[in-house]
Structure 1
Amino acid sequence: MDGRRLVTWDDGIDPPAPRMTAGAWLRVALRGTALAMLVFGGLLLLILLRLVERPLFGLRRSVTPWITQGVCKGAFVIIGLRREVQGAVMRGTGAVVANHSSWLDIFALNASKRIYFVSKSEVAAWPGIGWLARATGTVFIRRDPRDARQQKAVFEERLRVGHRLLFFPEGTSTDGLRVLPFKTTLFAAFFSDGLPDMQVQPVTLAYHAPPGEPATFYGWWGGQGFGEHLLRMLAAPRHGRVEVIYHPPLRVADHGDRKALARAAERAVRDGMRESGLLAAGGGPAPRDPRTI
């Protein structure tokens, strides 16, 4: 399936195409081979261990999440993207919400903590990505109000066994320089009598482009397909960094409803983007040097 279907936010300006030279193609070959061996080698190991882990622990995954974390950390080393973590990872029962810039977010968030993503059901059928998602315990949902009760039950089951669920409330990836309004629907699942002391931790992902590259370098939006974005990441002669900022968890009980909780989480994520220098006081992208646009 065409990767561009993953991206719906569009400001009318397509991302610049990667500049491909002989050196760039060599980096693609070397990094791509190493990344494929790491990801699919890790996937094979995870599947084999899961054959033993599943009958012993059921939904509780005691071993395989460590493989996922190791693969994600290794992916950043191969690509050359520096990851800087700020704040404390939440302890106890809860969920995580973050802004969404690209597929790199999955690696950035998985590298720091044991989490399980919530994704739309169509992803399960995508070659490669769908296999990885299913193997790592992703929760698939349909964005259909008729499924709300069933989805809530699935969330409760996963949270009760200690899983930390993560979703992107913006509903789409962006150019990495803005935070779109958070959609509130999935926040309703956390207001359940069966989930005492529930917490939601907002996380800001702030990507800083390599010197001389557009500030939107790591964003994935508009008509750009997955293959094109991956090619750019593998071909880049040098990379910048991503700040992974963990904000204090929000107690669900302190918020009147899903809309109030979503607003509080969005505000925390926006504050993190602003403090990183990527978001202006008015809420839009911070002014940038026109030479890097």
Structure 2
Amino acid sequence: MTGFIKKQFGRGKSIVGMGSTLVGGYRTAHRIGAFDAPPREILPKYIQTFCRKMLDSFGVKVVQVEPVPQTHGLWASNHVSWLDIPVVGSVAPVFFLSKAEIGEWAVFGRLAKAAGTLFIKRGSGDSGGVSEQIADFLRGGSSVVFFPEATTTDGKHIKKIYGKLLQASMDTGLPICPMVVAYVDRDGKLSDDAAYYGERTMADSLKRVMDSRGITAHVLPLEPIYPQDKSQKELTAELQLAMEQGLARLHRQVLKA
């Protein structure tokens, strides 16, 4: 019974913390005029604060294995969980991509708009149109992050990455800024509870994260990749290798044997 009560108390604490963070986000958005399209350059510091508080509500700690540079460019991260969004958002000056219909959601949609999210209008669904939208966003001075694996994984390896959106880097001349993330439990092993993959539902994943309490997200920024004089195929191969080697190095550094 004691374990059950402790678990329910932990979940309740997370829910209250998440709710408080959302309310705080709305208040801040109103205070800085984010619902009225303020200058985009002031938003990243508020986004980072919001993401840190959201992670705190789930008891997730973030460690920068090396300082994450605040570089303007097209950011790319491996994709393990829904936690990736607040983790990356807490350390990098980035805006996120989202399907246009999410912008119509009552609560999260309005807050996402206030946070400067780039809502992708897929239309015909072609990646070329999406990369053009990202390129326009980059030219406006806003960095964007995407997950080139295009799906979540168990966090052990980098899946095949899809490089069509790298065209935005080629069109603007801005660097690709890779990073890798590893979620580690209290025993120094990869946290399976943090990973959101396979047949797990969002509700299941939320419960796993809330119950685990003690997950650390280790973030390792990698060397930027510059697009000049490279084809999309060459950039894709370079990013694939960099992320594979980077994740292996991160695991060597943060996991216990």
Q: TM-score range by the shorter chain?
A: 0.7 to 0.9
Q: What pairs with 1:237-276 in structure 2 (closer than 5 Å)?
A: 238-254=213-229, 256-276=230-250
Residue 22 of structure 1 aligns with which residue? 5
**Residues 202 and 246, structure 1, Cα contact 8 Å, conserved in 2:** yes
Residue 164 of structure 1 aligns with which residue? 143
TM-score, normalised by the number of residues in structure 2: 0.85
Aligned partner (choices 77, 80, 93) of residue 56 of structure 2: 77
> 1: distance between equivalents of 2:131 and 2:78?
22
TM-score, normalised by the number of residues in structure 1: 0.76
> 1: distance between equivalents of 2:241 and 2:85?
21
> 1: distance between equivalents of 2:195 and 2:103?
23
> 1: distance between equivalents of 2:183 and 2:52?
16
> 2: distance between equivalents of 1:52 and 1:161?
19
SS of structure 1 residue aligned to 2:251: coil
**Residues 211 and 240, structure 1, Cα contact 8 Å, conserved in 2:** no
Q: What pairs with 1:141-156 in structure 2 (closer than 5 Å)?
A: 141=120, 147-148=126-127, 150-156=129-135
Q: CA deviation at 1:106?
A: 0.8
Q: CA deviation at 1:80?
A: 2.3
Q: CA deviation at 1:165?
A: 0.5
Deviations 1:126-165 (A, max 9, x none): 5654344333222232566665554344223221222110
| Structure 2 runs not aligned, ≥5 long | none
> 2: distance between equivalents of 1:142 and 1:201?
24
Q: CA deviation at 1:86?
A: 2.6
Q: CA deviation at 1:203?
A: 0.3
> 2: distance between equivalents of 1:22 and 1:133?
34
Residue 8 of structure 1 aligns with which residue? none
Distance 1:91 1:65, change over 3 A: closer
Tell me if 1:219 matches 2:195: yes
SS of structure 2 residue aligned to 1:223: coil
Name the aligned partner's letter for residue 248 of structure 1.
Answer: E
Residue 98 of structure 1 aligns with which residue? 77
Return the structure number with greater helix share.
2
Q: CA deviation at 1:177?
A: 1.7
Name the aligned partner's letter for residue 41 of structure 2.
Answer: R
Tell me if 1:188 matches 2:167: yes
Aligned partner (choices 62, 65, 75) of residue 86 of structure 1: 65
> 2: distance between equivalents of 1:136 and 1:206?
25
Residue 88 of structure 2 aligns with which residue? 109
SS of structure 1 residue aligned to 2:233: helix
Aligned partner (choices 2, 22, 28) of residue 45 of structure 1: 28
**Residues 119 and 167, structure 1, Cα contact 8 Å, conserved in 2:** no
> 1: distance between equivalents of 2:241 and 2:49?
31
SS of structure 2 residue aligned to 1:38: helix
SS of structure 2 residue aligned to 1:32: helix
> 2: distance between equivalents of 1:66 and 1:239?
25
| Structure 1 runs not aligned, ≥5 long | 1-19, 279-285
* More relative contact order, 1 or 2 (CA 8 Å, 6+ apart): 1
The root-mean-square deviation of aligned C-alpha atoms, in Å, is 2.9
**Residues 83 and 242, structure 1, Cα contact 8 Å, conserved in 2:** yes
Deviations 1:68-92 (A, max 9, x none): 2112122333322221103343455
Residue 54 of structure 1 aligns with which residue? 37
SS of structure 2 residue aligned to 1:242: strand
